[in-house]
Amino acid sequence: MATLDSLKQALREKAKATASSPKQPLSATQYSAGFNILMRGSGWITYQDFIIPQLSQLLALLFNSRIHISALEIGPGPKSILGYLPGRLKRKVRKYTAFEPNGLFATRLEEWLYSTSETESPLPCLENPPNIHRIPFVLQNIGSGTSTGTGNNDEKYDIILFCHSMYGMKPKHRFIERALEMLVERPQGGIVAVFHRDALHLDGLVCHRTASFPTGVVSVADDDEVLDCFAPFVAGFIMQAVDVDKAIRVKWRKVCRALGRREETHPDHLLFSSPNVMAAFTQHAITLPELMAQVPLAKGDKIVKNREARLHRPASIIRPTKVRHVQQCVRWALKHGVGLTVVGGGHSGHCLWPNVISVDMGAFDQVHILTAGEEDERKSDSNSSSLVVAEGGCKTGDIVTKTMAAGLTVPLGARPSVGAGLWLQGGIGHLARLHGFACDAIVGAVVISVDSGQVFCVGCVPSQHWPVGAVRPENETDLLWAMKGAGTNFGIVISITFKAYAAPTYSIRNWVVPLSDSLEAQLKLSDFDELVASKLSRNFSADAYLYWDNDQLHLGVAMFESSTSRQTFETPTPTPTPIGTVLGLEDNFKVVDSVGLFDTEMYMSGMYGENGGGKTSSFKRCLFLKRIGAVNVADILVAAVGTRPSPLCYLHLLQGGGAVGDVAADATAFGCRDWDFACVVTGVWPRDQDGTEAARTAVQWVYNVAGDLLPLSSGAYGADLGPDPRDAALAAEAFGPNRPRLARLKHSLDPHNVLAYACPLLKAPMEQKLIILITGESCAGKDYCADVWVSVFTRCTRKSLTARAVSISEATKREYAAATDADLNRLLWDRAYKEQHRPALTTFFQGQARQRSRLPEEHFLNVVYSAADVDVLLITGMRDEAPVAALSHLVPDSRLLEIRVKASEETRQVRRGCYGSNNNSDNKDSNNSGSNLTALDYRPSLIFDNDTTGNEAVKRFAEHYLLHFVHEDLQRLAHIVRQVPNFPCPGIDFRHVLGISQQPGGLALCTSLLQTHFTGDWAKVDAVACCEAGGFVYASALASRVNVPLVLIREAGKLPPPTVSVIKLSSHISSLASNNSKEKRIEMERDVVSRGSSVVVVDDVLSTGETLCAVLQLLDEAGISAEDVSIIVVAEFPVQRGRDLLRQRGFGRINIQSLLMFGGA
Ligand SMILES: Cc1cc2nc3c(=O)[nH]c(=O)nc-3n(C[C@H](O)[C@H](O)[C@H](O)COP(=O)(O)OP(=O)(O)OC[C@H]3O[C@@H](n4cnc5c(N)ncnc54)[C@H](O)[C@@H]3O)c2cc1C
């Protein structure tokens, strides 16, 4: 898929080649029409998934430290992005200024920002009318004094936003510098945030944070009229002469059609890739000279190996030559609140980031060898073996060459040019089965703390290699543990001490087996796995390659045997029988030393004939697999190679087992140890196509294959995963059970996130947060229960979840205290005092709610956003009826539950006694609290009877009903659900819920979760009802598991009489997918279930709720009352508000449970 930027170049070239007549800028109307096309459909996804969350995250800290915010937006278009921030944030915006030269946009922006009697302004708390300048933000007198053209240069802002690609601003960095001058200078200063399509080159500026969104897509209708608006908008001009303009548009249409991608599902739309970036700057953006005065710069253009990284333009590359230089870099980064990247061997895409300072460790390239007995300090850690101290800039080849000369080796990787990133993140090589990973050989390290800039020595570091002033940190054990597999996240490594092994000699045998079809490929992989690889002893390792050459699929196998006794290989031994039977005669046999081993890699020499030696670039992601010969795994592997976008792409399977599995998963940070093969999915393209469509397609192929393999994998390799959103799913599976401990350590060892661009360890905020709303009658013990449940979540989960209980009424109490003489502290903490004020508080809240109709939603969102860092949030003091149905669409990525806490009148009376009030009617904690359960017209998710004293029952309830909502199995199930963008129409991110049943183990996992999550008693259920098609799949498996008969509901006309039937409106996805009639009848056999039976309805999805409503009506027709029905679905899409619909149609009292919650449509 071409990018918008490449489309722009192509359109401009076409115009240049076609006519030399003058061009002219677009009119406001033309620009506006083009902009609207861009924003339609999938264009908005970039805002929803990238710009709004990034901006919210960026501003949350800034906004927390301010009561009021003033904002300047440059070129906002017809709406301000600030209006889409969460309520808590946007209510802080009190002053809004914009430069919007497009008159149409300026007018629409003004109208949009004004509130009317029906609608509240998107920025509801502005103190003055918005100040919209209908002129461009320009720099006058560039180079000397600058001015914006408004004549008022003294205005200062907390946030300045460039949100639409800085259209027409050149040079861009000068505009940012101008904006920086306009930031407030209070202690924390303000932020200039830039969102831009494609790469940003802002010379000399250092950003506070940057992020990218490579998967943005723009979808444009393939229609002459639409393309005639869109193409000039992208090109940035029209032709002055009318006839020339007409002619050029015809050509531009062709260019759009040639470059746009069509998807089978939407052949009438053209898709263009629209990667976006964010860069945020503070007043520290211009402090690079301060650092440059202290430390040396890299000379010339430092060539990093990785091609992606080379496309990033760092603010500068520093090349420290002394330990103190590295300390100065860290201290400078801490002082100015910016991040750093580190360059080791330069093989990852994250060693350089745009507008970030890079620390090139190349000058630290010494390798020191200490043979056994030379040094006393290492006795305890290294079993007195020889040690190797390798500095942070060493390459694999340096270490292997130098140690080999001393008859030693360190288990590293296969390529000589790879650097510290390898041993700090794992390091899988041909000695892994014998000695473990490279990180397993680490016994000590010298690290610069990114919290303080101090030099830390951890573990065994020979005394002569202790830098001056180095200390042992308090958390030495944690830091050494983290260095072994996740080291790139916790400090800048000056040197690593490895224990060394005797240098072996290797024999290598290669086989190349052409495969006639997929079936043969699967059988061969299976034989290779079961008959060859699994039988090998630890000094052998067998790697496999799946690749295409000369239009044929091939299996390549390379078998390495290591031995420290040379004699073993003097005469080649015959090929062992099972291998010969499976793979035939070997192609070659070689005996090499550790250095010679570098030249024997099959992908360098044995594959692709001539092509192997050509100049290529590659992109890799690696997952761990067990049993590659199992049909389900082999199927995906073979199919993956079949879909390769370039003939050079391949899969490399490196054998694990042996010593890899001897180490416990939590003994080192690496974590993932239980696997047979590391599958390196390798996208390859010709080097001269770097940065082109071909390269992007190969990268996307790697992610697609990794996504397909992930559900079957036993983890992912953390090496080279970074902040790219496509890495998130893999990063979640890296480090096995160690991820929570690593996340905690990241908070304590890198609290300012200096190493922000390494493999992500911190959880994204709001990722499947569990929000529990605790409701119930006053004095039933809601706050008490909330506290106990918090302790259960934090104590009982091995995952060390964070949980917090908060009261939603705090906001009202604050505002009430401000408006009256009440004492806020006593309102918050003194129960009796609160009881006295309760009636007045309720009246105050009701008054506020009358003026601000969305007040409950705002309070709810404020509480949720201010607890963005917790996994489980328990909210007390809710005042809403049916809060799950009313609020879940506001937090669609979280799971929302309501627990109603009940207690008898006597118990409540006793509890109330403590607070000295007998006035029952006043003593309410919520609008509905006086009502009893049977009077409610809806059903809470769970009910807890809190009549007993003590906390045992409260705890047991949480253990029984709540803990399974945070169980990994739900996450596992969620990961099985494939996401299909733009299906069934552009803008829809389809979740293939039914596809769970097509994945190996998916149906079993899903049915077992359906069984255990049901809060009722299966023994009392008479039937499981389901509607075709999705419901059939899961309900049948579940019914068989719980041994309950099925009730099948089908489209009318498919079941034998007598039947009952009702009308069903089409479901959400069906209505998008087809133009078929929106109305159908569904029916069931009349007597298949007897009247008054207890029925559980099972469906795949709860979206708009139309299908479930029809099913409930049908059951009602058949004599099954709603009181006897429960619903359980696999996935719910809260934004479609299905629960609300069910409630409106009179089914609010039915218990509805969902295994998974998904945001989006
Ligand atoms: C051709 C090739 C072959 C490979 N072969 C293998 C293999 O056989 N086995 C294997 O396990 N992996 C292998 N890899 C993956 C490799 O381990 C990773 O790409 C690794 O990140 C590269 O490290 P680097 O130092 O060369 O790259 P860099 O990009 O320089 O560094 C990678 C990461 O480490 C960080 N880092 C580097 N130095 C330091 C330091 N001193 N202190 C703190 N952080 C630092 C960087 O900031 C970056 O995040 C291979 C990769 C390639 C491209």
**Cα angle value 572/574/576 (rounded, 5°):** 130
Candidates 417, 422, 450, 541: which one to mutate for ligand 1, based on the most atoms within 8 Å of Cβ? 422
Rounded Cα distance between 566 and 600, Å, is 18
Distances 1038 to 505, 768, 973, 1010, 1096 between C-alpha atoms, Å: 57, 25, 16, 7, 11
Residues 6+ apart with CB under 8 A from 851: none
Query: pLDDT grade, residue 879 (50/70/90)?
Result: confident
Question: What is the average per-residue pLDDT within 61-89?
Answer: 83
Question: What is the average per-residue pLDDT within 602-613?
Answer: 61
Using DSSP's 3-state secondary structure scheme, residue 1103 falls into coil
Distances 462 to 373, 444, 446, 447 between C-alpha atoms, Å: 12, 9, 10, 14
Rounded Cα distance between 310 and 398, Å, is 24
Determine contact, residues 611/503, Cβ cutoff 8 Å. no
Domains of the chain, each with CATH number or no CATH: 27-139+155-217+271-276 (3.40.50.150), 505-726 (3.40.462.20), 770-908+937-966 (3.40.50.300), 976-1157 (3.40.50.2020)
Rounded Cα distance between 1062 and 1084, Å, is 9
Question: What is the average per-residue pLDDT within 133-139?
Answer: 91
- Ligand 1 close to Cβ of residue 397 (< 6 A): no
Determine contact, residues 572/589, Cβ cutoff 8 Å. yes
Rounded Cα distance between 1106 and 672, Å, is 44
Give distance in angstroms: CA of 345 to centre of ligand 1: 6
The per-residue pLDDT for range 186-197, each reduced to its tens digit, is 767 899 999 998
Percent of the chain with pLDDT over 70: 90
pLDDT: which is higher, 609 or 998: 998
β-strands 505-515, 442-448: how paired?
unpaired
Tokens of 936: 């409610």
Residue 1112 has pLDDT above 90, yes or no: yes
Q: Output the DSSP codes for 184-211.
A: --STT--EEEEEEES----TT---SEEE
Positive or negative: CA dihedral 870, 874, 875, 880: positive
| C-alpha dihedral (542, 547, 548, 553), degrees to nearest 10 | 60
Distances 567 to 409, 504, 589, 591 between C-alpha atoms, Å: 19, 12, 16, 11
Question: What is the average per-residue pLDDT within 543-562?
Answer: 93
Determine contact, residues 1098/1034, Cβ cutoff 8 Å. yes
Looking at residue 869, its pLDDT comes to 66
Ligand 1: which atom is nearest the Cα of residue 422? 17
Give distance in angstroms: CA of 352 to centre of ligand 1: 13
Residues 6+ apart with CB under 8 A from 278: 50, 51, 54, 55, 58, 193, 194, 195, 196, 209, 210, 211, 212, 213
Question: Is the bond preceding residue 171 a cis peptide, omega within 30 degrees?
Answer: yes
Looking at residue 656, its pLDDT comes to 96
Question: What is the average per-residue pLDDT within 798-804?
Answer: 69
Rounded Cα distance between 828 and 499, Å, is 58
Rounded Cα distance between 401 and 420, Å, is 16
The per-residue pLDDT for range 439-470, each reduced to its tens digit, is 999 999 999 999 999 999 999 999 999 999 99
Looking at residue 1077, its pLDDT comes to 57
Rg over CA atoms, the chain: 32
Determine contact, residues 350/758, Cβ cutoff 8 Å. yes
Question: Is the bond preceding residue 984 a cis peptide, omega within 30 degrees?
Answer: yes
- Ligand 1 close to Cβ of residue 492 (< 6 A): yes
Ligand 1: which atom is nearest the Cα of residue 392? 41
Ligand 1: which atom is nearest the Cα of residue 413? 8
Looking at residue 766, its pLDDT comes to 37
* Residue type for position 281: F
Q: Name the residue among 529, 596, 532, 608 with its Cα closest to residue 562.
A: 596
Rounded Cα distance between 659 and 673, Å, is 10
As a whole number of angstroms, the longest Cα–Cα distance in the chain is 98
Positive or negative: CA dihedral 13, 18, 24, 27: negative
Query: pLDDT grade, residue 930 (50/70/90)?
Result: very low
Ligand 1: which atom is nearest the Cα of residue 759? 49
Indicate which residue's Cα is closest to atom 4 of ligand 1: 415
Question: What is the average per-residue pLDDT within 894-906?
Answer: 93
Query: pLDDT grade, residue 854 (50/70/90)?
Result: confident
Q: Which residues pair with 651 in a beta bridge?
A: 546, 681
| C-alpha dihedral (323, 329, 335, 341), degrees to nearest 10 | -130
3-state helix, strand and coil shares in percent for the chain, rounded to the nearest 5: 40, 20, 40
Indicate which residue's Cα is closest to atom 32 of ligand 1: 421
Query: pLDDT grade, residue 755 (50/70/90)?
Result: very high
Candidates 302, 311, 330, 348: which one to mutate for ligand 1, based on the most atoms within 8 Å of Cβ? 348
Which ranges of 340-388 does DSSP label H, i.e. alpha helix? 379-382
Q: Name the residue among 1066, 1130, 1064 with its Cα closest to residue 1097.
A: 1130
Question: What is the average per-residue pLDDT within 764-780?
Answer: 78
pLDDT: which is higher, 1003 or 878: 1003
Looking at residue 799, its pLDDT comes to 54
Looking at residue 170, its pLDDT comes to 86
Percent of the chain with pLDDT over 90: 59
- Ligand 1 close to Cβ of residue 1026 (< 6 A): no
Q: How many CA atoms lie within 13 A of 849 on its CB side?
A: 15
Query: pLDDT grade, residue 929 (50/70/90)?
Result: very low
- Say how many residues make up the chain: 1161
Indicate which residue's Cα is closest to atom 46 of ligand 1: 342
Candidates 347, 352, 599, 750: which one to mutate for ligand 1, based on the most atoms within 8 Å of Cβ? 347
The CB density around residue 1149, as the number of other CB atoms within 10 Å, is: 17
Indicate which residue's Cα is closest to atom 48 of ligand 1: 351
Tokens of 928: 């509905």
Using DSSP's 3-state secondary structure scheme, residue 1062 falls into strand
Residues 6+ apart with CB under 8 A from 566: 505
- Ligand 1 close to Cβ of residue 413 (< 6 A): yes
Rounded Cα distance between 625 and 633, Å, is 8
Residue 198 has pLDDT above 90, yes or no: no
Indicate which residue's Cα is closest to atom 38 of ligand 1: 344
Ligand 1: which atom is nearest the Cα of residue 494? 41
Rounded Cα distance between 851 and 830, Å, is 29
Question: What is the average per-residue pLDDT within 1019-1048?
Answer: 95
Rounded Cα distance between 204 and 1132, Å, is 48
The per-residue pLDDT for range 381-391, each reduced to its tens digit, is 445 689 999 99
Residue 610 has pLDDT above 50, yes or no: no
The per-residue pLDDT for range 213-230, each reduced to its tens digit, is 998 889 999 999 999 999
Q: Find tokens 């801490």 and name the residue.
A: 334
Rounded Cα distance between 491 and 445, Å, is 10
Q: State the pTM of this model.
A: 0.71
Rounded Cα distance between 411 and 396, Å, is 10
- Using left for φ > 0, alpha for ψ between -120 and 50, and beta otherwise, residue 781 falls in left
Tokens of 191: 């932020």
Looking at residue 853, its pLDDT comes to 75
Ligand 1: which atom is nearest the Cα of residue 349? 29
Looking at residue 516, its pLDDT comes to 93
Query: pLDDT grade, residue 1037 (50/70/90)?
Result: very high
Looking at residue 765, its pLDDT comes to 42
The per-residue pLDDT for range 319-346, each reduced to its tens digit, is 999 999 999 999 999 999 999 999 999 9
Query: pLDDT grade, residue 987 (50/70/90)?
Result: low
Query: pLDDT grade, residue 984 (50/70/90)?
Result: confident
Looking at residue 917, its pLDDT comes to 47
Most confident of 517-521, 629-633, 770-774, 910-914: 770-774
- Using left for φ > 0, alpha for ψ between -120 and 50, and beta otherwise, residue 156 falls in beta
Determine contact, residues 396/623, Cβ cutoff 8 Å. no
> Phi and psi of 489, rounded to 5°?
-100, -5
Give distance in angstroms: CA of 268 to centre of ligand 1: 44
Which helix (H) or strand (E) is 741 found in, with range?
helix 739-749
Using DSSP's 3-state secondary structure scheme, residue 236 falls into coil
Question: What is the average per-residue pLDDT within 961-990?
Answer: 82
The CB density around residue 710, as the number of other CB atoms within 10 Å, is: 18
Q: How far apart are the first and last CA of the chain?
A: 24
Most confident of 62-71, 584-593, 798-807, 1062-1071: 584-593
Give distance in angstroms: CA of 347 to centre of ligand 1: 5
- Using left for φ > 0, alpha for ψ between -120 and 50, and beta otherwise, residue 434 falls in alpha
Rounded Cα distance between 40 and 79, Å, is 14
- Ligand 1 close to Cβ of residue 349 (< 6 A): no
Residue 739 has pLDDT above 60, yes or no: yes
